[in-house]
Amino acid sequence: MYRFLLSPRWLGALALTLVAAAVMVWLGNWQLDRYRGRTEVNERIDAGQRMAPVPLTEALSAPTGGAGKAGPAPAEEKVWTRVTVTGRYDPTNTVLVRGRTVDSRVGFEVLTPLVLSDGTALLVDRGWIPPAPGGATAQPPVPAAPTGDVTVVGRVHDTESGAGTVSRRDGRLETRRISVPRLAGELPYPVYGAYLLLDEQTPAADPAFKAVSVGHANNWQNFGYVVQWWLFAVMALFGYGWVARREARRAAGLDTERRPLDRAAEPTPTASA
């Protein structure tokens, strides 16, 4: 009944169906890996918000190069770790990161190097401020950094990807992306290989700054793609089986098409006497 499945045409259709289903399963597995990865990131973000701060050196390795060099990037499991460190701000090398959005407003994030007692520095994201009147790129007045020793508590943020250029305008560094290695090249001391997203500061931070919120990765979107690709794979295999079964029944004469009745051709009934 199913001998026709051994014909070249049906074998080719089977091979194509199996390849398509395998690709769809692979795509589903790939999205599953992305779902797991994003879920781990979200869990680290939540854990970093709850954890007690640890010394900086437990999360980041100190830079070993000379001035203008960035230290090693943090291990994946150390990103979003909450740390505490004491140093002195260097406001002469403040970095303005333009085009950053908080509460649906575009402004600047302000990074100031915190110089530690050993001469190394850590970039601290002190928060967000709106632009000056005149447009989203107009440099704002930056609240002064505290003088003397400052103790900060914040979460380790990995360097951002992208080849953002760094320029100096009106005595301040400007960039679009927080690329620590690029920023380190503009600074007169070795810099840690990640930056700190400020949570607390002693002395207290200026109230003009707004906290930079941390968005969670949309892991459930990836989970939806997993279900979608695996359903497509099942549908491809089911579709092949359904078409094959219909062809087999047709060849066996089990699915004969019925002609529609032609009522006009039937004799007109006569009234009985």
Structure token pair of residue 36: 């797991």
Handedness of CA 58, 59, 62, 67 (dihedral sign): negative
Of 221, 241, 232, nearest to 22 by C-alpha is 232
Q: Are residues 23 and 112 in the same domain?
A: no
User: Do 172 and 246 sit in the same domain of this protein?
Assistant: no
Q: Is residue 211 part of a domain?
A: no
- Is 208 part of a structural domain of the chain? no
Q: If residue 156 lies in a helix (H) or strand (E), which one and from where to where?
A: strand 150-158
Do both 111 and 17 map to the same domain? no
Are 138 and 167 members of one domain? yes
97 and 226: one domain?
no
On whether both 129 and 235 belong to a single domain, the answer is no
Last residue of a domain, one of 141, 171, 202: 202
User: Is the same domain home to 63 and 113?
Assistant: yes
Same domain, 148 and 197: yes
Query: 28 and 130 share a domain?
Result: no
- Alpha-carbon distance 268 to 255, whole Å? 32
pLDDT number for residue 6? 75
Per-residue pLDDT of the chain (273 residues), as tens digits, is 677 777 888 788 889 999 999 999 999 999 999 888 888 888 888 877 788 999 999 999 999 888 989 999 999 889 999 999 999 999 999 999 998 888 888 889 999 999 999 999 999 999 999 888 767 677 888 889 999 999 999 999 999 887 678 888 877 899 998 999 999 999 999 999 999 999 999 999 888 899 887 777 777 788 898 999 999 999 999 998 888 888 777 877 776 555 555 566 566 666 554
Q: Please indicate, yes or no, if residue 238 is contained in any of the structural domains.
A: yes
Same domain, 161 and 31: no
14-26 residue pLDDT tens = 899 999 999 999 9
Same domain, 36 and 61: no
* Residue ranges making up the domain that contains 150: 55-202
- State both tokens at 241: 């089986």
Q: Is 184 contained in some domain?
A: yes
Domain co-membership, 59 together with 33: no
Which pTM was predicted?
Answer: 0.74
Residue 151 tokens read as: 């103790």
Q: Is the residue at 272 inside a domain?
A: no
Number of domains present in the structure of the chain: 2
What is the reported pLDDT for 112? 96
pLDDT one-digit tens code per residue, 61-92: 999 888 989 999 999 889 999 999 999 999 99
Return the residue matching tokens 């110089």: 115
In angstroms, the CA 53 to CA 156 distance is 11
Straight-line distance from the first to the last Cα atom of the chain, in angstroms, rounded to the nearest whole number: 56
Tokens coding 161: 């990807």
Assigned domain for 209 exists: no
